[in-house]
Amino acid sequence: MEKGYLILETGDMFEGEWIGSERETSGEVVFNTSMTGYQEMMTDPSYAGQILAFCYPMIGNYGINQYDNEAFQPALSGVVMGELCEKPSHFQAAENFSDQLDKAGIPGLTGIDTRALVKKIRELGTVKGVLSKNKAADQKLLAEMPPGVEEVSTKNILTFKNNGPHVVLMDYGYKKSILHALLKENCSVTIVPYHMTLEQLKTLKPDGVLFSNGPGDPMKLKERLPEIKKISEYYPSLGICLGHQLLALAHGAQTKKLSFGHRGGNHPVKEAETGKVFITSQNHGYTVIEESIPSSLFEVTFRNVNDKTVEGLQHMVHHITTVQFHPEAHPGPSDTAYIFKSFIEKINPKAAGEISYAVK
């Protein structure tokens, strides 16, 4: 294997062995602490434009299967890891980890001291970096703007028929597991581009709307906030991850960037009403500022046990529920899977596309 380098914008450099695509790349360097699920992480559209460092020491030991991709095409910029296993052992393994990197055109490094890298990110906050075969970072690569929601959202309307209520899934970079969670609850699901308007949604006659996860700063979609507000006041709405942030912003709250984000499968959140703690899967770099949330409109339903950040909201007038974590959690804990059931219970099929849920 050729040598390769992860060069941070701070000048810090980590040497490893090059794997995957030959192209050099740049992106925000982030880390995930999950012990399993590298295939799902690689294909999660929320990582668009990021270089993902796996904290677990060995990656690839159970291979890549044909079932667990969260999107048709990985959107991340690159991956780094401590050790790569090229001889996976699992009955469903169809290819190894580096095969998927090659097919997706994604470069990576193995043999990296990921503990030192994570310590550096925790010390400095999330930084941009370059994956290169040269020891000098290409400044043009560092200056490139990362892809956003526009690149990962569907371009076409996709429909999945079922016998239950009809849910529109606003696609900001949705995970396949969210779709499967809705289908498991017998919902019909229509996946639509992120820029759909209320008037366009009315023609689809949904019973409820789910605002999905996705990559990047929610304020990059600030021009969409007035329409998001109208949609969420008209239809029962559930926001997950980026969808949670967008709904909060649309109703008057503010967001900020976390120092190094929440990315992993063991994040504890506390339910405000019961005091019960749930273990959740998370993948985000921004949070809703609690002091900015209109107290006359929303109550905080969940808080992060570790840093007390807002993890969930409930509107006091409209049927709007949001969670910062991933209740579908594939892979990961299923503690909060009931969030989908609770959302569906609020949907009134008789009101599909005809009755506004807004209080006049």
Angle at CA 25, nearest 5°, toward 98 and 129? Answer: 110
Residue 134 annotated in ligand binding: no
> What are the tens digits of pLDDT across the range 78-131?
999 999 999 999 999 999 999 999 999 999 999 999 999 999 999 999 899 999
Q: What is the pLDDT of residue 354?
A: 39
Alpha-carbon gap, residue 77 to 290, rounded angstroms: 32
Question: Which residues carry out catalysis?
Answer: 241, 326, 328
Helix axes 225-234, 242-250, angle to 10 degrees: 90
Residue 69 annotated in ligand binding: no
pLDDT over 80 (residue 290): yes
Alpha-carbon gap, residue 313 to 111, rounded angstroms: 42
CA distances 70 to 111, 120, 156, 179, 329, Å, are: 26, 29, 18, 10, 11
Residue 96 annotated in ligand binding: no
Confidence label for 349 from pLDDT (cuts 50, 70 and 90): low
Contact at 8 Å (CB) between 311 and 335? no
Residue 216 annotated in ligand binding: yes
Domain ranges of the chain: 3-143, 149-351
Alpha-carbon gap, residue 187 to 81, rounded angstroms: 39
pLDDT over 80 (residue 353): no
Mean pLDDT of 44-60: 97
Tracing tokens 């998001």 back to the chain, one arrives at 228
- Which element (helix H / strand E) includes 139? helix 139-143
> What are the tens digits of pLDDT across the range 203-224?
999 999 999 999 999 999 999 9
* Beta-sheet pairing, 107-110 with 158-160: unpaired
Q: What is the pLDDT of residue 138?
A: 78
Q: What is the pLDDT of residue 356?
A: 38
CATH of domain 3-143: 3.50.30.20
- Which element (helix H / strand E) includes 101? helix 97-104
Q: Which residues contact 140 (CB under 8 A, 6 or more apart)?
A: none
CATH topology of domain 149-351: Rossmann fold (3.40.50)
Q: What is the pLDDT of residue 348?
A: 59
Residue 285 annotated in ligand binding: yes
